[in-house]
């Protein structure tokens, strides 16, 4: 099973005024048809573990060419990283073997002839990949700007945006993005203190939190899982 490896700030992370980040749960609910599906390049995922050889012959040969031949469609065309461990779960460093090859072009090779007193351990390998191999596509809504900072601040909350835009925002957004109206500057780059910034609640910038006494005017959009 392919496992998600990493997701960046806008991809479902919780950003409050103290800049703490907390991961949010993923929803796989369908979104409005016709929204284009984008694949964030900051997401990577690991393939399954592969163990095609054992060291009883000349060594343990987990070559990418042979792994692809024996596991069609299970390894992306351009892996970003490779990880190897023994079948008992030891890292390569902990196992102490001299490794002949370990890269995303050749795969993994441990040769018995390179070891001083013993054969290689028996290894398994996996590779990390970028979308769309991982899945993880996101469909962005349009931009919303329901408030301006003339009162207590700029309040772009989901509880207000949903009833004002029925059927346009999925039930459980994965991502949120906020930018300024005038220059499209990302909210996290303005230096302003953000009271709420997460895909579960929406976005709030309070005037009382700013040294200048007022927030900039923002618009927001939400990322939903593609079908």
Same domain, 100 and 63: yes
Kindly state the average pLDDT of the residues 190-195.
96
Report the pLDDT averaged over residues 17-37.
41
Q: 129, 162, 195: which is the final residue of a domain?
A: 129
Q: Which residues of 131-145 are buried (b: 16+ CB within 10 A; e: fewer)?
A: bebbebbbbbbeebe
Give mean pLDDT, residues 61-84. 95
Which H or E run includes 176? strand 175-180
d(CA 84, CA 69): 19
- Residue 13, Cα to own-chain centre: how many angstroms? 10
**pLDDT(186) > 80:** yes
Per-residue model confidence (pLDDT) at position 2: 39
Do both 50 and 35 map to the same domain? no
Answer for the pair 131, 94: CB distance below 8 angstroms, yes or no: no
**Looking at the structure, do residues 49 and 98 belong to the same domain, yes or no?**
yes
pLDDT for the residue 117: 83
The mean pLDDT of 200-223, rounded to a whole number, is 96
**Are residues 172 and 207 located together in one domain of the fold?**
yes
Q: What is the pLDDT of residues 142-170, one digit of tens each?
A: 999 999 999 999 999 999 999 999 999 99
Predicted local confidence at residue 227, as pLDDT: 65
Shared-domain flag, residues 178 and 124? no
CA pair distance 227, 30, nearest whole angstrom = 5
> Are 49 and 26 in a shared domain?
no
Q: For the chain, how many structural domains are there in total?
A: 2
Domain residue limits at 181: 3-40+136-225
- Residue 220 confidence (pLDDT) above 60: yes
Cα-trace Rg, the chain: 24
Q: What is the pLDDT of residues 122-145, one digit of tens each?
A: 999 999 988 778 776 788 999 999
Mean pLDDT of all residues belonging to the chain: 84
- Write the pLDDT tens digit of every residue in 81-132: 999 999 999 999 999 999 999 999 999 999 999 999 889 999 999 999 887 7
Is a pLDDT exceeding 70 seen at residue 20? no
Express as a percent the part of the chain with pLDDT over 90: 69
């Amino acid at each position: 099973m392919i496992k998600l490896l990493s997701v960046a700030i806008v991809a479902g992370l919780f950003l409050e005024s103290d800049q703490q980040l907390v991961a949010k749960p993923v929803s796989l609910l369908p979104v409005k048809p016709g929204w284009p599906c984008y694949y964030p390049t900051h997401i990577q995922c690991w393939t399954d573990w592969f163990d095609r050889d054992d060291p009883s012959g000349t060594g343990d040969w987990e070559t990418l060419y042979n792994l692809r031949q024996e596991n069609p469609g299970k390894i992306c065309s351009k892996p970003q990283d490779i990880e190897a461990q023994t079948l008992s779960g030891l890292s390569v460093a902990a196992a102490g073997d001299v490794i002949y090859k370990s890269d995303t072009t050749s795969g993994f090779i441990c040769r018995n002839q390179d070891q001083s007193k013993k054969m290689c351990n028996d290894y398994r390998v996996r590779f990390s990949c970028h979308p769309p191999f991982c899945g993880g596509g996101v469909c962005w809504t349009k931009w919303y700007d329901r408030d301006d900072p003339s009162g207590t601040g700029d309040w772009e909350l989901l509880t207000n945006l949903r009833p004002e835009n029925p059927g346009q925002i999925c039930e459980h957004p994965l991502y949120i993005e906020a930018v300024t109206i005038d220059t499209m500057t990302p909210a996290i780059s303005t230096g302003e203190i953000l009271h709420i910034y997460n895909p579960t609640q929406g976005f709030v910038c309070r005037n009382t939190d700013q040294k200048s006494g007022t927030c900039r005017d923002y618009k927001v959009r939400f990322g939903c899982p593609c079908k």
